[in-house]
A and B are shown apart, each in its own frame.
Chain A
């Protein structure tokens, strides 16, 4: 609305209008943050599908290959990547459960939605931390 008004009333100021192509100038509300992370983590999980299948195939094929997969997954760098992936899974999982809850009209007011967004973010990180402790301890 506002943009249209300025556009029609004064063309001379068009040059000075902010273009807002810089994504870092946009402060996302927490619900939007959870939403875009849900999408991003979904894409990441889709991209690692072939790696999961490959590792599964190797691990099932023979004892030697199984040991090899275990040693690959045991290296510190891979472990860190795994942790990142685990976070992607956990976030996608909890944000998905939140969507399902909202589909049955649970926690749908703005304040409640903001609260469940925080819960989703915390749960995702918490689950990852628990896994990290389990992987390194």
Chain B
């Protein structure tokens, strides 16, 4: 029954599940980040670079950003659906949202991958 609900016929269920999955990923990452900040106390430039150096941390950060983008897309889309009744206006806003999120993904990827 569950798998049937997750097919293309029920996009709402997929959105619902994606919102929760991405939330879980971000929650775990956030807790990890807080603990890491508390332990490492990166208060100089060198220490900050070291903080950012491990590949597992970069991959985790990148995954976090992808999750955040999906989560923000679903969340802000709901906000537009609720408060922007004008369909033309809404579709323009949604397009701006998509462009912004892709730009942020490109930007974040560049930050997390280089060096």
- Write out the residue numbers on chain B whose beta carbons fall within 8 Å of the beta carbon of A42: 72, 75-76, 79
Enumerate chain A residues within 8 angstroms of B48, measured Cβ to Cβ.
59-60, 66
Is A7 on the interface with B (CB-CB < 8 A)? no
Residues of A in contact, count (CB < 8 Å): 22
B18 part of interface (Cβ distance < 8 Å): no
Q: From known contacts A53-B104, A60-B111, infer whether A67 and B45 are also in contact, taking CB-CB under 8 Å.
A: yes
Name A54's closest neighbour in chain B (CB-CB): B107
- Chain B residue, CB-CB nearest to A50: B104
Interface of chain B, main secondary structure: helix
In Å, the complex CA distance between A109 and B94 comes to 36
Bound CA–CA A59/B43 (angstroms): 11
Tell me the A residues contacting B by CB distance below 8 Å: 39, 42-43, 46, 49-50, 53, 56-57, 59-60, 62-63, 66-67, 89, 93, 96-97, 99-100, 103
Closest-CB distance, A28 to chain B (whole angstroms) = 16
- Measured CB to CB, the residues of B under 8 A from A are 20, 23-24, 27, 30, 44-46, 48-49, 52, 68, 72, 75-76, 79, 104, 107-108, 111
Majority DSSP secondary structure for residues of A touching B: helix
Q: Could you say which of A53, A60, A63 contacts B52, with CB atoms under 8 Å apart?
A: A60
CA distance A55 to B24 in the complex (A): 25
Q: Shortest Cβ distance from A101 into chain B, in angstroms?
A: 11
* Cβ contacts under 8 Å, B68 to chain A: 49
CB–CB B45/A93 < 8 A: no
B24 and A100 within 8 A (CB) = yes
| CB pairs A–B below 8 angstroms (18 shown) | A39-B75, A42-B72, A42-B79, A46-B72, A49-B72, A50-B104, A53-B111, A56-B111, A60-B48, A60-B49, A60-B52, A60-B111, A63-B46, A66-B44, A66-B48, A93-B27, A96-B23, A97-B27
